[in-house]
Amino acid sequence: MNYFEYITDPHRQCAIIAHRGIWNEAPENSLLSIRRAIEAGYDVVEIDVRRTADGEFVLLHDDTLERMASIDKKPEELTLKELISLPLRNRDGGPNSPFTEEKLPSLRDVFELTHDKIFIHLDIKHRHAIPEVLACAQKMGVEKQVDFWADLKTEHDLAWIKANITVHDVPFIARTHLEHDDWRGQARLALELKPLICEASFRNLSQVDAMKQ
């Protein structure tokens, strides 16, 4: 599998992305939700990645474990062993969702599950962790299946992205904000970087029209 070749193929169909996996009958960001995305034939699965207290990585969207595991702690406060023993609440969690047999997954387990099966959009919650996650992907042989995503708002962002991501020839999604006053500067940075994909956030279509002009 090769993410670059897939995205740049002019004959491919529109890519369908499973956001946190298919979690209508499984916990979000769980191995089961990802497995179901693979079985359903989705092109890409989006997952959220956070660091553990001992420097490993797990899947979790929120700052704390409260919504998905009913524990008022940050994943950065617990070890990998402690985290992967936690049962997850079903679907998008919360007190009204029952606990399941699914446990909080490690990123390594996800890479093992997805190897040569689906592309992976990595939402890494702290940008400084991207080089370590990339190294893990390379070690496990999935580096051609993943993309990395980060803000591109300043010259500092541009320099960091070039030094830590695009230098490794991996797909990168630049996130720009058309609703910000400095959107022209952000657009200029995106044109300079020429990322594989550019995500533009906006509040109304007039902001998109302004960019066209």
Residues 6+ apart with CB under 8 A from 38: 45, 113, 114, 117, 118
Q: What pLDDT is attached to residue 30?
A: 99
* Domain limits, CATH 3.20.20.190, in the chain: 13-145
Query: Which of 61, 115, 156, 168 is flagged as catalytic?
Result: 61
Q: What pLDDT is attached to residue 176?
A: 92
Between CA 61 and CA 125 the distance in angstroms is 8
Q: What pLDDT is attached to residue 48?
A: 98
Between CA 113 and CA 163 the distance in angstroms is 29
Q: Which residues of 5-43 are buried (b: 16+ CB within 10 A; e: fewer)?
A: ebbeeeeeeeeeebbbbbbeebbbbbbbbbbbbbeeebb
Q: What pLDDT is attached to residue 212?
A: 74
Q: What pLDDT is attached to residue 190?
A: 94
Q: What pLDDT is attached to residue 153?
A: 94
Q: What pLDDT is attached to residue 211?
A: 76
Query: Which of 19, 115, 121, 156 is flagged as catalytic?
Result: 19
Q: What pLDDT is attached to residue 120?
A: 98
SS3 call for 45: strand
Active site residue 115: no
Q: What pLDDT is attached to residue 36?
A: 98
Residue numbers of the chain with a pLDDT score lower than 70: none
- From the options 3.90.1660.10, 3.20.20.190, 3.40.1390.20, 3.40.630.30, give the CATH code of 13-145: 3.20.20.190
Report how far apart, in Å, the C-alpha atoms of 149 and of each of 90, 129, 195 are: 27, 12, 10
Q: What pLDDT is attached to residue 207?
A: 85
Residues 6+ apart with CB under 8 A from 97: 89, 90, 91
Active site residue 156: no
